[in-house]
Amino acid sequence: MSTSHQFIAFALVGLASTIFNLASRYGFELFFTYEFSLIGANAVGVISAFLMNRWFVFRSTDSQLLTELTRFVAVNLVGIAVAWGVAVLLYRQVFPALAVTWHPDLLAHAIGIAVPVLPNYFAHKVWTFNR
């Protein structure tokens, strides 16, 4: 698969895992604060993204499941920290200052998720799923 096709597949997998991430946050918010719900939702997003990336994007079929999972989680922990920081900053500080009232929680969360996409792709391509 060419790099451009692979990135498009990565982006589509990212979109699907983002939907899982965003939707699960609403479930977590029944029991937790926004900040803690982001953490649980990111876990759902990471697990779904790992499985879909392994099967559909990087087509890993070898027996290095644990190694790939460990690397995927390591890369995504950095991405999650960035996404969490961006989302909380936007939701708690920036959007109230700008008087954003149209789903500020959803907008902040979605923007936070989008920020680390490109660095994550390259990290997964050259490290996580590298043969």
pLDDT tens-digit readout, 28-45 = 999 999 999 989 998 999
Question: Can you read off the two tokens belonging to residue 7?
Answer: 């990135």
Q: Quote the CA–CA distance of 110 and 125 in Å, as a whole number.
A: 23
pLDDT of residue 108: 96
Name which of 114, 96, 116, 117 is nearest 105 in CA terms: 96
pLDDT of residue 5: 92
Question: Can you read off the two tokens belonging to residue 66?
Answer: 């644990």
Tell me which amino acid residue 76 is.
N
The mean of the pLDDT values for the chain is: 92
- Domain with 40, as residue range(s), is 3-128
Query: How many structural domains compose the chain?
Result: 1
